[in-house]
Amino acid sequence: MELTIECKARDPKAKANALRRQGLLPAVLYGHNGTESVALTVDQKAADTLLRKAAVNNTMIDLQIPDMPWSGKALLREVQSHPWKNSIYHLSFFAVKAQDAVEVGVILNFVGESKGVKDEGGILNTEINEVTVKCKAIDIPESIDVDVSDLAAGDSLTVADLNLPEGAVVVGDPTQVIATVLQGRRTEDEAAAE
């Protein structure tokens, strides 16, 4: 998913709290020109709308900066929020080229009903719900489907079992367990029947 947001270059003398009172949110862009960073402002309402659809380190955003010679693609790297007001305080973006390889967190979407749960009374235990994937910036998947239909009681899936999009590689241990079907407790009737 790709989103667009318009930013403006921030006056270096502007205080962050004064900007927030004006309905603007301080932000920063890294990596657009080597190690140089640029201070920006974003409209608070536009940032709220963006964050309803965007995920940190997972969503490619088209940054439009009319008062700067640079406009391009960036990943949302960090969202700082007030500890108890639940309001956004600051955004950080990292510029990337479409063909650059990036490491992003991708949510695992468990689909299907396992045989071990349906037929054997087991319990599906998900160990992790997200994996770090390295892929081209233009190919970031929104989520990865994990089909658990064939899992019987006692079976498990590992990171190596994931069906990844073309060109994507999981960063980390391929033997890490994603999900396991635990044995269900037998009912008293079943135990008596035996």
Q: Are 84 and 122 contained in the same domain?
A: no
Q: Give backbone dihedrals phi and psi of 115, rounded to 5 degrees, phi first.
A: -60, -35
Domain that holds residue 164: 101-185
Same structural domain, 106 and 75: no
The answer to whether residue 190 is domain-embedded is no
Closest alpha carbon to 2 in 64, 44, 78, 80: 64
Q: What is the pLDDT of residues 29-59, one digit of tens each?
A: 988 766 678 889 999 999 888 888 888 877 8
Condensed to tens digits (0 to 9), the pLDDT of residues 137-168 reads: 778 888 899 999 888 888 899 999 999 888 88
Shared domain for 47 and 125, answered yes or no, is: no
Mark which of 95, 125, 158 sits at the end of a domain. Answer: 95
**pLDDT tens across 58-78, in order?**
788 888 888 887 778 888 888
DSSP type of residue 69: S
81 and 112 together in one domain: no
At residue 183 the predicted structure's pLDDT band, cuts being 50, 70 and 90, is: confident
Helix (H, G, I), strand (E, B) or coil at 19: helix
Q: Do 113 and 90 belong to one domain?
A: no
pLDDT over 70 (residue 97): yes
Is the same domain home to 19 and 90? yes
Q: Which of 54, 77, 95 is the last residue of a domain?
A: 95
Q: How many residues does the chain have?
A: 194
Both 85 and 163 in a single domain?
no
**Looking at the domain assignment, is residue 88 inside a domain?**
yes
Number of domains observed in the structure of the chain? 2
Is residue 191 pLDDT above 50, yes or no? no
Q: Residue 98: what pLDDT?
A: 66
